[in-house]
Amino acid sequence: MKKIFAVALGILTAIGGFLDIGDIVTNAVVGSRFGLSLAWVVVVGVIGICVFAQMSGRVAAVSGRATFEIIRERLGPRAALANLIASFLINLMTLTAEIGGIALALQLASSVHYLLWVPLAAIAVWLVIWRVRFTTMENVAGLVGLALIGFAVALFLLGPDWETLGRQVLHHGLPDTEKATTYWFYAVALFGAAMTPYEVFFFSSGAVEEGWTTKDLAQSRMNVLVGFPLGGILSLSIAACAAVVLLPQAIAVTSLSQVVLPVVEAGGKLLLAVIIVGVVAATFGAALETTLSAGYTLAQFNGWSWGKFRRPAQAARFHLTMIICVIVGLGVLLTGVDPIKVTELSVVFSAVALPLTYLPILIIANDPQYMGEHVNGSAMNVVGMAYLVVIVVASLAAIPLLLITGAGS
């Protein structure tokens, strides 16, 4: 019974913790501009993050070492430094976007300007990281984040024409008002939103924090293979809600307040409240994960003592890194930069940096000396190599598409 409860809890937190501000905003933007014609990217992205997380979780459970330690060992200090700089900056950008997301959601609930919420959100993130146990933090954010199921409920309440939605999914036709380059720009952005590198840093380092061993692999596999696809369905629900309500009115989403218009249309104030709670939980959970990931990457690269299972005094530089990152994110937001713009850029740059973290994990997961009997099977290798190609293509296309489309405008 205890085992079943643990598996169910893991799956639920994986669903609730799957979405962050990048997923919420990008799916809503895409739904409002392209309908469900980019739904295939969500499917590709969800399978990709399942492959990536499953491999990195397995490597962490077998070796007891997290992603960045392995990257440094495999690539050498110089190449790993370039990897660290890119990953760290993108993680910082994502952290900034998540703190901004918390503030925007609280603004929606209170109409108090988001800049007044930003310092409170940043302090709350730091306090939770400082005081709350890893497992409690992960489970509470994931479970409350389940409130985002409200998007799926909203979709059913809207009573859409399922045939039209189905046609949008199957025929990847471009709306008259959009260009092909913009379509592909958002395809890359959506892929980057589904496969953000911080998720893998957090997942593999979390495995070490929780002391996973090979005995935990089955449960980890269940969490990933059941929880993430169900989280992907929530992503599609957000896009579908926007496609049903906003696309016909030519409302292209540029703010969080527009994302909730379909929800209100469907379920009124009650569903609006549920979604705001869900967005706060999802962005707060992601802010915790990105803050921890910042500490993990730098500490693991430098060989510092790290982990929440240690007292702050025993991992002082790890905690100091996180505090500085939260302060930098806070400082960036207080300049008045639009958190939604930061979010849109962070998902694109996530796609750019993805090969840097994916390749070392794929190499290690294939190394029989390192992995023993838990080395990648041939089926997993075929999928893993296919995703390496997809990831490299997305990474190479991201910046040219960003420049050609003027960041998708």
Partner 1 sequence: MSSSARWPARSVTATVMILIVALTSGCGGSGARADLAQSLKETHAALRSVETALQQLDHGRTTRAAVQVTAEDMADQIGTAQRRIVTTSADTGEERELRQRCQLTIASALVAVQDAEDDLAASTASPSTLARLEAADRHVASVATLVGEP
Does 82 contact partner 1 by CB under 8 A?
yes
Instruction: Return d(Cα 50, Cα 380) in angstroms, integer.
Output: 11
Q: Is residue 171 a contact residue for partner 1 (CB under 8 A)?
A: no
CA distance 282 to 99: 11
Nearest alpha-carbon partner for 149 in 225, 261, 231, 227: 231
Q: Does 226 bind partner 1 (CB under 8 A)?
A: no
Residue 6 engages partner 1 in binding (rule: CB under 8 A)? no
Q: In terms of CB distance, is 111 or 378 closer to partner 1?
A: 111
Residues in the chain: 409
Cβ closest to partner 1, residue 335 vs residue 409: 409
Is the Cβ–Cβ distance between 267 and 55 less than 8 Å? no
By CB under 8 A, what part of segment 345-404 binds partner 1? Answer: 399, 402-404
- Determine contact, residues 43/174, Cβ cutoff 8 Å: no
In 3D space, the residue among 178, 146, 121, 132 whose CA is nearest the CA of residue 334 turns out to be 121
Site string for partner 1, 125-164 (x = CB under 8 A): ----------------------------------------
C-alpha dihedral over 141, 49, 33, 97, to 10 degrees? Answer: 50
Among 8, 64, 76, 89, binds partner 1 (CB under 8 A): 89
CA dist 69 and 60 (Å) reads 10
Residue 111 found at the interface with partner 1 (CB under 8 A) = yes
Quote the least distance from Cβ 266 to partner 1, whole Å: 9
DSSP 305-369: ---TTS-GGGGHHHHHHHHHHHHHHHHHHHTT--HHHHHHHHHHHHHHHHHHHHHHHHHHHT-HH
Span near partner 1 by CB under 8 A; candidates 12-20, 207-215, 263-271, 286-294: 263-271
C-beta of 273 vs 388, nearer to partner 1: 273
Pattern 270-309, binding to partner 1, x per CB under 8 A?
--x-------------------------------------
Q: Does 335 bind partner 1 (CB under 8 A)?
A: no
Distance CA 98, CA 329 (A): 9
Contact assessment for residue 48 and residue 191, using Cβ atoms and an 8 Å cutoff? yes
Q: Judged by CB under 8 A, which of 8, 76, 81, 116 binds partner 1? A: 81
Residues touching partner 1, count (CB under 8 A) = 38
Indicate whether 110 belongs to the interface with partner 1 (CB under 8 A). yes
Positive or negative, the CA dihedral 137, 143, 144, 148 is positive
Binding piece for partner 1, criterion CB under 8 A, among 22-30, 61-69, 73-81, 389-397: 73-81
For residue 273, the minimal CB distance to partner 1 (Å) is 9
Closest distance of CB 406 from partner 1, Å: 2
State the CB neighbour count (10 A cutoff) for residue 305: 11
In angstroms, give the least distance from the CB of 327 to partner 1. Answer: 21
Q: For residues 46 and 354, which CB has a smaller minimum distance to partner 1 in the complex?
A: 354
Residue 265 found at the interface with partner 1 (CB under 8 A): yes
Q: Does 328 bind partner 1 (CB under 8 A)?
A: no
Q: Please choose, out of 60-68, 109-117, 211-219, 295-303, the segment that lies near partner 1 by the rule CB under 8 A.
A: 109-117
Residue ranges of the alpha helices (H) in 111-194?
114-131, 134-145, 150-158, 162-170, 180-194
Q: Fill in the per-residue mask, 233 to 262: x = in contact with partner 1 (CB under 8 A), - = not in contact.
A: ----------------xxxx-xxxxx-xx-
Classified as helix, coil or strand, 132 is: coil
Q: Which of 163, 176, 335, 373 binds partner 1 (CB under 8 A)?
A: 176
Residue 76 CB burial class (10 angstroms; 0-12, 13-18, ≥19): exposed
Among 61, 95, 108, 391, binds partner 1 (CB under 8 A): 108
Alpha-carbon span 191 to 401, nearest angstrom: 14
The vertex-16 CA angle with 187 and 113, nearest 5°, equals: 80
CB of 90 to partner 1, least distance (A): 11
Q: Which is nearer to partner 1, 269 or 311 (CB)?
A: 269
Distance CA 45, CA 38 (A): 11
Which residues sit at the interface with partner 1, rule CB under 8 A? 78-79, 81-82, 85-86, 89, 107-111, 176-177, 249-252, 254-258, 260-261, 264-265, 268-269, 272, 399, 402-407, 409
